Structure formats: structure tokens, C-alpha cells
A and B are shown apart, each in its own frame.
Chain A
Amino acid sequence: MSDVAVHGVAGEFEPSIFGTYSKKIGMWLFLLSDSLTFGALLAAYTYGRVSYGTEHGASLWPTPFHSESIRNATIMTAFLLTSSLTMVLAVRASVFGNAKAQRLWLLATMACGIGFIVLHGNEWSNLIAEGLTLPIFGTPPHAHAAAEFTEVTKTVPQFAGTFFGLTGMHMLHVTIGVIYLGVIALRKWFIPVLLAFWLVAWLGTPAYSPFHDASHLLLIGAIVISIILWLKPKLYDSSDVEVAGLYWHFVDLVWMFIFPLVYLMSTRII
């Protein structure tokens, strides 16, 4: 219903009680609800860990992360933190109306996000090859029954369930974030890029890898953004960049809790 019908005066709106535009408030509300999703997943992980108890002061929960995994996860964290810096610089460029710098900083943010996804995918593949897996994942042909984490998967199935659930959900969010920024930076020209990514991910991963089937999410993403851009083609302004930035920083923020709680608390100290 228009404001004319309500008040009888064209252009008379209620002032925003938060002092900002509604797109931003909408994104904040979404992020608050998404925080609860991750909060619930982290609570489930913590519940599983606590309920497994301790023996002689040491947790019985598996501590599978060798220094190689920790190094990998630290580099991933640095990628995300750097992507937050480049994102904030993209927002800054957009408010100054510098379209070229805005696009470059957005592309830099996407590059860091892609780096994070590739490293995380590599980490997952290594863990799966070493026996830490879920029943829905395929079995690598070179996997052997005596792999390091096969026993962990059998005796503490909650570990693999909560680990892959939590980090998988986060990886999905990072992927959606990269697509979102791609649309803001390149608009319709991002669609062929995304299709190329889909083909690389689909054809470049072996059939037993969970990423082989998951790569189709990129195809779904390409279809969805095609529909959105067809229904509402527009030039994105600084408010759109800022709102996209809020989403991206949130993805970074969530990792700041996953990294210590999941990786650092399960470090294998030899």
C-alpha cells in the first residue's frame, strides 16, 4: 500500500528508527538470524566435545590436526582477514565514486575468498583420504583401512559429523559471498565466469570427491543470478557495495570462532 493511501500526502514516510537505509537493516537482520544458525552448529560441536568427557585432565575428543593442518588453517584465516581489508577498501572506493578501484578491490576480495575455498577443499580432501569421512562421501580409490583417522570415524562419529557440517556450512557461505561480490563487481559479465568455474570444479574433481557433486551449486548460482539480473538489471551503487560488504565481513567473523574452537582446540601436540 502506498504512503499516499495511508497519509494522503505523497512522499511522507516514517523516518527510519535506526537512522539508516532499509537494505542495510534488512542485511543486518539476515546476518543476525544466520548467526543463530552458526551458533547452533558451534553449540552442537561443543556439546559433542563436552559430552565425550576427559581422562586425566585430557579431552577424549579427537585431536587430529597436525601442524600441517594448523598451518593451512592459519593461511586460510589470513586470506579471510585480508579479504575483509580489501572489502572495506572497496566500500571506501565506492563512496568516493571511484568505480575502477571499487571493482579492483572487489576482485581482490573474491581472489582471497577463492584462495580460502581452494585451501579448505584441499584440507577436506586430505582428511577424507586419511579416513576422516562421512557415509555420504565417496571412498577414494587409494584409501586403505588402516588410514590414520579411520578409527576416529568409527569410534567418534560425532567428530566428522560436526566438523564437516560446520565447516561445510561456512564454505557454502564463502562460495555464496564470492558469487554475490562477482555480481556486484561484474554484473552480467560474471555469469560466463561462474559457468567456467563450474566446469573447472566439475571436470577437475574426481567423481568420489564431495566437491564433484557440490560443484553443481555454481551452476545453480549462475541460473539464479541470471534470473535476478534479468528481472532487475541495475548499476550497483555504494549502498549495494556496503550491504555486500556486511555479508562478506560476517563470513570472516564466523571463521574467527570456527578456527580456534574447531582447529586450535583440536591441535595434535607431539
Chain B
Amino acid sequence: MDAIQVALAQEAAEKQRHHPKSTFFWVWGVLLILTGAEVYLAYQNMELVRMLTLLLGLSIVKAALIIGYFMHMKYEMSRMKWLTMGSLTICLVLMCIFLPDAYRIVELGIR
């Protein structure tokens, strides 16, 4: 690595020395509790769309905790946060463009 890269890596390491260890245990605990809640919801006889919304919502919260705390995105520059997470969200949302076609298949009765 060249000098600039070494300096940037050392700066990142220095920042991480100040992250409290207890935060990681808290995040881990919350993630386990949310997983337990998901399993509980799976055994509730509820409407499919409602269950999907709840499970997906919980998954997004878990993903945000992992990205924010374990992957240290919370501590990155706002430019880094917005560019990476924004572009990813747009691309993933664009994939949903195919779903209306799946409903069309149901209505046409073609399998």
C-alpha cells in the first residue's frame, strides 16, 4: 500500500478504537430478539401479504443494524452512505418491476 492508503487505513483503525464494545453486544442481542419475533410471527395464522410486510419490515431493520453497526457504515462519510445505499436501493426496487407480470400469469391461468 502506498503512503496515502496506509494513512487512510490507520485513520479508519483509529476511529474504530473509539467504538464502544458494548454496542456490538446490544446489536447482537436485538438481532436475536428480532429473529425470535420473526419465528413467532411465522406460526401466527395471518394473511399472506400482512405476514410478508411484517417479516420484510423486520428483515430491513435487521439489515440496517448489521450494515450500520457491524459493517461500520454509521461511522462513514455521508457521501459514502448515500451513494452506496442509494444506488443499491434503487437497483433492488427496480427488480420489483417484474412482479406485476407474475400477477398477470395468475390471471391468465398459465403455469
Contacts and interface: CB of A to CB of B under 8 A. Distances in A.
Contact of B106 (A21, A53, A94, A239): A53
A43 interface: yes
Given A19-B77, A59-B48, A249-B66, A11 B3 contact: yes
Contacts of A237: 9
A47 interface: yes
A28 interface: yes
Contacts of B96: 43
Interface in B1-56: 1-5, 8-9, 12-14, 16-17, 19, 21, 24-25, 28, 31-32, 35, 38-39, 41-43, 45, 47-48, 51-52, 55-56
B9 A265 contact: no
Contacts of B95: 39-40, 43
Contacts of A20: 8, 12, 76-77, 80
Contacts of A84: 28, 31, 66, 70
- Chain B: interface secondary structure? helix
Interface string B82-110: 01100110011001101101110110000
Q: Which 4 A-B pairs have the closest CB atoms?
A: A264-B42, A50-B102, A239-B9, A260-B55
B39 A70 contact: yes
A54 B56 CA distance: 20
Interface stretch (A159-167, A172-180, A207-215, A251-259): A251-259
A261 B55 contact: yes
A260 B70 contact: no
A61 B42 CA distance: 16
Contacts of A261: 55-56, 59
Given A19-B76, A238-B9, A32 B42 contact: no
Contact of B91 (A36, A53, A242): A36
Contacts of A22: 5
Contacts of A153: none
B60 to A, nearest CB: 9
B4 A264 contact: no
Interface size class of A (residues with CB under 8 A): 35 or more
A185 interface: no
B45 A269 contact: yes
A78 B43 contact: no
8 contacts: A16-B8, A20-B12, A50-B106, A52-B106, A74-B39, A88-B70, A242-B12, A265-B48
A32 B87 contact: yes
A13 B67 CA distance: 29
A108 interface: no
